[in-house]
Structure 1
Amino acid sequence: MAKSTRETERKYEAPSADDTSWLPDLTGVDGIGAVVEQGVEELDAVYFDTDDLRLAAGSATLRRRSGGSDAGWHLKLPGSGDTREEIQTPPDSELPDELRELALSRTRGADLRPIVRVRSRRDTRLLLDGTGTTVAELTVDAVRADSPLPGTARAEWAEMEVELAEGADPAVLDTVDKALRREGIERAPHPSKLAKALEETAAGAPRLPDARAERVRAGTAGEHVLAYVDQQVHALVTLDPAVRRGLPDSVHRMRVACRRLRSVLRSQRPVLDRRVTDPVRAELKWLGGELGGERDHEVLLERLDAGIGRLPRELVLGPVRARLRVWHVTDSSAARQRTLDALDSPRYLALLDSLAALTEKPPLRDKATRAPGKVMAKAVTKEYDRLAARVVHALELPPGTETDRALHEARKAAKRTRYATEAARSSLGKPAKRFGKRIKAVQKVLGDHQDGVVARDTLRRLALAAHAAGEPGFTWGLLHGREQVVAREREQELPGVWADASEPRLRKALKR
């Protein structure tokens, strides 16, 4: 079973690992009451990657390490700032399937093999606060790196790491950093031992998409569009391990990344050739649909649970909570399996390959070379025009099933319009941000209405199941009626919110 931890550390250049007389005594530095030596240990790590170093290119590392207290397989995934997540499994001879799957969005199924071996002689010191609690660990490593690849060389260097202890105040790292810098000890330019080993042994470095660099000129519409595409592809790839592990909100965020990508590939057809992007959009729609079951269930459960919680106790008749739990367990299990099946499918791997090709060799059209302002503004206004047609149509209909469907279509158009404004912010600035904020308000009203439509359908099915089991259906009917009231309130709220979003001055501001 894998164990996940978060490590927050900073690396420094070290003059020597054999003679540490250069290392200042940190005792007495603010927050540090004592420095305790722990001795020296030998560590031996073999790093694995694909032939073209896809893990390294995605700032991830996979290694099998012996020696030390945490011997085993380690998959490190980038976080924010100085923090990374480390997922560990026991030191089996073969790479565990669990880690292989967690790396899959980056490797895209390519074979993993040893690329470099790093051996370290580690001298460790614990930094303790005034109560004797460890707040950080300082290590000085004598490092030797070798690669099994032909044409490589051995590399040797010394480095120092300061790693924050679990639960310690991150400010400790800043305090130690200042003390070290006063002594002339500077941060290491390389983010990891692997990065330096690849460089120093000539085993290679993450390859850059040269074809893209040659084609995409700075300051053009193509550059702005691809920057947004890159951002969403990165989000999708990095969220994959979190979705596989069922981490909170990960499915929702990955689904949003799919929608944003679909939206920008649609709205930016003048910049990116649709003969290439339309098939990608279709596959993103498929993936979003597979993720949708789990995410929609999360939203619906929260809504139903909150609805029951708002009722007075005397109106909750029968085993309402128990029936909701049964529904949740049954539906969520099926939805979860659907998500995992999608991520393990050849179709998903093919989509990842398509996205990588799209970012490395973008299918640019002539308008990609133009200034971004007009191109992005036109894309936003086109999406807005489609939204306007759907909202106006929905507002003309009387309340009922047809209106529900029309408002749902308007909701989807509102999302596409908002995502178009997000992609345009880098070139249009505040006007796009203000416009997007108004469109988001429309989307929120329409979204709450649609969530109510879905909730009413589920409440009806729960009521039927309760009736068949001989349970009271009163509470389910009451909740259904309340959802009808909320839906009517949102329909009445929509004209005013839409009037704010369709204000002519907002649209004109985009074209300036």
Structure 2
Amino acid sequence: MIEIELKFQVPAAARDAVAKAMASGRSERTRLQAVYYDTPDRRLAAASAAVRLRLEGSRWVQTAKAGDPHGMQRHEHNAPVDGAADGPPPALDLARHQGTPVGGLIARALAGAAPAPLFRTDVHRTHREVRAGKGTLELALDIGEITGGDRRWPLHELEIELVDGDPLAVLDAASCWVARHGLWLDVRSKAERGDRVSRGVDTGEPVVASSWPANPSLRQVARLGLAHLLPNASEVASGTFTPGHLLQVNDALRRIVGTLPSFPEADPSWTPTLTGTLAATSDAATAVDALRQPAFTQVLLALQAVALVPEGQPVTISCTMDPSTFS
């Protein structure tokens, strides 16, 4: 299956309001305790893949994921596993994913090597299903931590995942939550952050731009620009980053800003918003706040929509959820 989701960090000032919003309606609360596996030389991480065993309430599930670690869509396969909720994790068995696209990707990445436990997550998840636009979504507020050795990484984030329907529904819902609570987009997965915890490092390597065609379409600008911008912007917005991350953010914004005016179908509000963000990110002292601004995040969501739909298809995103579901 293809997992389609976005993840957002919840600012400290908004945490009580977001928790209250998530606790309303038919929400459930589940404890998720996971063990993530990889080889000592990080073959799965290098292939943008992850394998975990997770106790979800009282049942064990083995999950494999692979694909673009910084995009909305990834391959995913889940397999129920027999095991006691009050006992140790069951044995990992990669054959559970045999015959699936993600199973093949995992097998090629490992090339016969055996993965071992590297880090763990312990999360209390408040979750519920909602309708937005033309889709059904799961909203999940995760509060907990990633641990590896004597290091830990606190978690406080909201995930919006498509259950069924139009993928644009994820962006519609995200637009609501960003406008209401000032959430900011973070494309770093738990697996990516856990790998850092296990290695004792705080940041990843800056992501550099791939080559652009001579005359890109608007969809290509959105896809290539976001692939360059989002992983670096996530690092800078987190407050822990290197000069290289900030340099790549500026480079990505310049490319996008320099190209958008040539497309009459591009929303005219995007360029001034991105131009203002570019000016603010020229200084490390103002960059973090600039990349957390709701107006900037809304432009990112709009560009995600452009990247998602077929070339030339008109696309708009708007908050189509009942206000009672996010306030």
TM-score, normalised to structure 1's length?
Answer: 0.33
Structure that is richer in strand per residue: 2
Counterparts of residues 303-318 of structure 1 (less than 5 Å): none
How far is 1:199 from its partner? 2.8
Alignment counterpart, residue 114 of structure 1, candidates 114, 117, 125? 117
CA distance 1:79–1:99, change in 2 (3 Å): farther
Contact 1:62 1:74 in 2 (8 A): yes
The answer on 1:142 being equivalent to 2:143 is: yes
How far is 1:146 from its partner? 1.3
Q: Deviations over 1:372-397 (max 9, x none)?
A: xxxxxxxxxxxxxxxxxxxxxxxxxx
Alignment counterpart, residue 56 of structure 1, candidates 40, 45, 50? 45
Whole-Å Cα distance in 2 between the matches of residues 16 and 146 of structure 1? Answer: 21
How far is 1:182 from its partner? 2.0
Contact 2:33 2:56 in 1 (8 A): yes
Whole-Å Cα distance in 2 between the matches of residues 66 and 50 of structure 1? Answer: 22
- RMSD of equivalent CA atoms: 3.5
Residue type of the alignment partner of 1:198:
D
The answer on 1:21 being equivalent to 2:17 is: yes
Structure that is richer in helix per residue: 1
Q: Which protein has the larger Cα radius of gyration, Structure 1 or Structure 2?
A: 1
Alignment counterpart, residue 195 of structure 2, candidates 172, 193, 198? 198
Whole-Å Cα distance in 1 between the matches of residues 39 and 139 of structure 2? Answer: 32
Residue type of the alignment partner of 2:191:
L
Residue type of the alignment partner of 1:117:
R
Residue type of the alignment partner of 1:180:
W
Whole-Å Cα distance in 1 between the matches of residues 72 and 2 of structure 2? Answer: 10
Residue type of the alignment partner of 2:178:
R
CA distance 1:90–1:22, change in 2 (3 Å): closer
Aligned twin of 1:165:
163
The answer on 1:82 being equivalent to 2:72 is: yes
CA distance 1:206–1:16, change in 2 (3 Å): closer
Whole-Å Cα distance in 1 between the matches of residues 40 and 166 of structure 2? Answer: 40
CA distance 1:100–1:48, change in 2 (3 Å): farther
The answer on 1:153 being equivalent to 2:151 is: yes
Gaps of 5+ in 1: 27-34, 219-512
CA distance 1:8–1:186, change in 2 (3 Å): same
Whole-Å Cα distance in 2 between the matches of residues 207 and 172 of structure 1? Answer: 30
Q: Deviations over 1:300-337 (max 9, x none)?
A: xxxxxxxxxxxxxxxxxxxxxxxxxxxxxxxxxxxxxx
Residue type of the alignment partner of 1:159:
E
Aligned twin of 1:36:
25
Whole-Å Cα distance in 2 between the matches of residues 206 and 76 of structure 1? Answer: 21
Q: Secondary structure at the match of 2:26?
A: strand
Q: Deviations over 1:397-449 (max 9, x none)?
A: xxxxxxxxxxxxxxxxxxxxxxxxxxxxxxxxxxxxxxxxxxxxxxxxxxxxx
Alignment counterpart, residue 104 of structure 1, candidates 88, 104, 107? 107
- Percent identical pairs in the alignment equals 26
Counterparts of residues 254-269 of structure 1 (less than 5 Å): none
Contact 1:164 1:172 in 2 (8 A): yes
Counterparts of residues 361-510 of structure 1 (less than 5 Å): none
How far is 1:42 from its partner? 0.4
Whole-Å Cα distance in 2 between the matches of residues 43 and 175 of structure 1? Answer: 27
Whole-Å Cα distance in 2 between the matches of residues 135 and 41 of structure 1? Answer: 20
Q: Deviations over 1:21-60 (max 9, x none)?
A: 146969xxxxxxxx73322110100000010111111111
CA distance 1:205–1:89, change in 2 (3 Å): farther
Contact 1:53 1:207 in 2 (8 A): no
Q: Greater relative contact order: 1 or 2 (C-alpha under 8 angstroms, separation 6 or more)?
A: 2
Gaps of 5+ in 2: 83-89, 212-327
The answer on 1:11 being equivalent to 2:11 is: no
Q: Secondary structure at the match of 2:166?
A: coil
CA distance 1:23–1:176, change in 2 (3 Å): farther
Residue type of the alignment partner of 1:138:
L
Counterparts of residues 303-342 of structure 1 (less than 5 Å): none
Whole-Å Cα distance in 2 between the matches of residues 70 and 135 of structure 1? Answer: 24
CA distance 1:45–1:71, change in 2 (3 Å): same
The answer on 1:174 being equivalent to 2:162 is: no
The answer on 1:124 being equivalent to 2:134 is: no
Residue type of the alignment partner of 1:49:
D
